[in-house]
Amino acid sequence: DAGVTQSPTHLIKTRGQQVTLRCSPKSGHDTVSWYQQALGQGPQFIFQYYEEEERQRGNFPDRFSGHQFPNYSSELNVNALLLGDSALYLCASSLGLGLTTYNEQFFGPGTRLTVL
């Protein structure tokens, strides 16, 4: 049973460019969340997708956008890259939104984005 997978593993971009990161959830999971982990910091919640809609959003600008596909996989897009966007981007999947009970999240290995 494959866990959460992310691609690519590493990415180097320059300021002002756009980037797309991809995530495939654990088999059977339908909810995907994205987190940004800057160097030396804890992960910060970006947003969450369920039924192809953004359900929750953290304190991130509109340059960060996402998408969820019918097969539950997800993309994170970042426009107009800044140096401060350099980070490890983590994807987590779960079954359901967890509004009444907690649904365990499983994390992928992350995509390391470097902005030069």
Partner 1 sequence: AQSVTQLDSQVPVFEEAPVELRCNYSSSVSVYLFWYVQYPNQGLQLLLKYLSGSTLVESINGFEAEFNKSQTSFHLRKPSVHISDTAEYFCAVSGTGGGNKLTFGTGTQLKVEL
Task: Tell me the closest approach of the beta carbon of residue 12 to partner 1, in angstroms.
Answer: 16
Residue entry with tokens 């049973």: 1
Contact region for partner 1 (CB under 8 A) — 19-27, 39-47, 65-73, 79-87? 39-47
Angle at 102 between CA 100 and CA 106, to 5 degrees: 140
CB closer to partner 1 out of 79 and 95: 95
Q: Which residues are within 8 A (CB) of 105 and not within 5 positions of it... i.e. 6 or more apart? A: 33, 92, 93, 94
Q: Can you give the binding site for partner 1, defined by CB under 8 A?
A: 4, 31, 33, 35, 40-45, 48, 55-56, 58, 90, 92, 94, 97-100, 102-110
